[in-house]
Structure 1
Amino acid sequence: MHPLIAGYVRWTDRISDYVGYLAASLIFFMGGTLIFDAITRNLLKMPVHWAVELTQFTLAAYYFMGGPLTLKNNDHVRMDLWYSGLSERGKAKVDLATIGCMIFYLGVLLAGSISSLQYALTTNERRFSIWNPSVIPIKSLMVACLVLMLMQAVSLVFKHIATLRGDHLR
C-alpha cells in the first residue's frame, strides 16, 4: 500500500480513537450532571432547570463522537445471517460493495447538518426552554463528527482494498 494512503489510514484511526475515548468519558459527566440534578431537586428543593437539557446535549455529543470509533473498530450493527461464515477476503468484498451506500448516507447527513448549522449561525438559533441554550455548539460538533465518519469510511475502503490485495494495512 502506498505510504501516503497508509499514513492517512493511521492518522484517521488515531483521531477516531481520541474522539471516541473522549466520548466515553462523557458518560461520567452525564452521570454527574444527573446526580447533581437529583440532589438539588429532591434534597435541596432547588431544582436546576438546565441539568436535564445539558445531559441531552451531552448524550447527543456522545453519539456523534462515538460514530467514527465504532466504524474503525467494526462494532456497528450488522445482519449476520451469512457474513460471519465468509473468509476475510469475502467480508472485504461485501464491505466494499456496501460501503458506497454508507458514504452516500453520510454525505446526505453531512449536507443536511451543514445546512442546519448555517441556519443556526444566521439566526442564532436557541432551544426554547427556561435555560435557552444555543444549539450552535452541538450542531458544529455534529458536522465535525460526520466529516470524521466520512474520513473513517474512506479509511475503511483503503483497508478493504488492502485486504483484497493481500496487504496488511494497520
Structure 2
Amino acid sequence: MPEPVRLFVRYVDALNHRIGRVAMYLIFPMAGILLYATASRVMLGVPINWAMEMSQFMLSAYYLLGGAYSMQLGAHVRMDLFYDRLSARNRAVTDMITILFVIFYLAVLFIGGVSSTQYAISYDQKNYTAWAPVLWPIKTIMTFGIFLVLLQAVSSFFKDIAIARGKPIT
C-alpha cells in the first residue's frame, strides 16, 4: 500500500482508539445521573425533569463516539453462517464489497447530520420538553461520531485491500 494510505490507516486507528477509550467512561456519569434522579424522586419526592434527557444524550454520545472503536475491534454484530469458513483473503474480499455499502450509508448519514446540526445552530433548536435543552451540542457530537465511524470504515476498506493483496497493513 502507498505510504499516504498507511499513514491514514495508522492515524485514523489511533484517533478512534483514543476517543473510544475515553467514550467508554461516559457510562459512569450517565449511571450517576440516573442514580441521582432515582434517589431524588424516591427519597426526597422531587422528580428531576432533566435527568432522563441528559442520560439519553450521554447514551447517544457513548455509542456514537465508541462506534468507530467498536468497528476497529471487530466487535460489531456479524452474521457468520459462511464467513467463518472463508480464508482470510476471501473474508477480506467479502468485507471490501460490503464495506462499500456501509461507507455509502455513513456518507449519507453524515451529510444529514451536518445539515441537522447547521439547522440546530442557526435556529437555536430546542427539544420540546419541560427542560427544553438546546440540541446543537448533542447533534454536533453525534455528527462527529458518525464522521469517526465513516473514517474507520474507509480505514477498514484499505486494510481489507491490503489483506486481499497478501500484504496486510500493520
TM-score, normalised relative to structure 1: 0.95
| Aligned position for 1:24 | 24
- Residue identity opposite 1:104 in structure 2: F
Q: Establish whether residue 113 from structure 1 lines up as the match of residue 113 from structure 2.
A: yes
Q: Establish whether residue 99 from structure 1 lines up as the match of residue 99 from structure 2.
A: yes
| Aligned position for 2:141 | 141
Instruction: For residue 66 of structure 2, give the secondary structure of its aligned residue in structure 1.
Output: helix
Query: How far apart, CA to CA, are the structure 2 residues paired with 1:20 and 1:11?
Result: 14
Give unpaired runs (5+ residues) of structure 1.
Answer: none
Instruction: For residue 43 of structure 1, give the secondary structure of its aligned residue in structure 2.
Output: helix
% of aligned pairs identical?
Answer: 41
Query: Aligned-pair distance for 1:65?
Result: 0.8
Q: What RMSD over aligned residues (CA atoms) do the two structures have, in Å?
A: 1.1
| Aligned position for 1:128 | 128
Q: Establish whether residue 55 from structure 1 lines up as the match of residue 60 from structure 2.
A: no
Query: How far apart, CA to CA, are the structure 2 residues paired with 1:129 and 1:46?
Result: 18
- Residue identity opposite 1:44 in structure 2: L
| 8 Å contact kept, 2:61–2:145 | no
| Aligned position for 1:10 | 10
May I ask how many residue pairs the two structures share in their alignment? 170
Query: How far apart, CA to CA, are the structure 2 residues paired with 1:156 and 1:20?
Result: 16
| Aligned position for 1:78 | 78
Give unpaired runs (5+ residues) of structure 2.
Answer: none
Query: How far apart, CA to CA, are the structure 2 residues paired with 1:132 and 1:97?
Result: 43
TM-score, normalised relative to structure 2: 0.95
Q: Kindly provide the CA deviation profile for residues 34-72 of structure 1, in whole angstroms up to 9, marking residues without a partner as x.
A: 111111111122222111111011011112112111211
Query: Aligned-pair distance for 1:168?
Result: 2.8
Structure 1 residue ranges, 4+ long, deviating more than 2 angstroms after superposition: 1-4
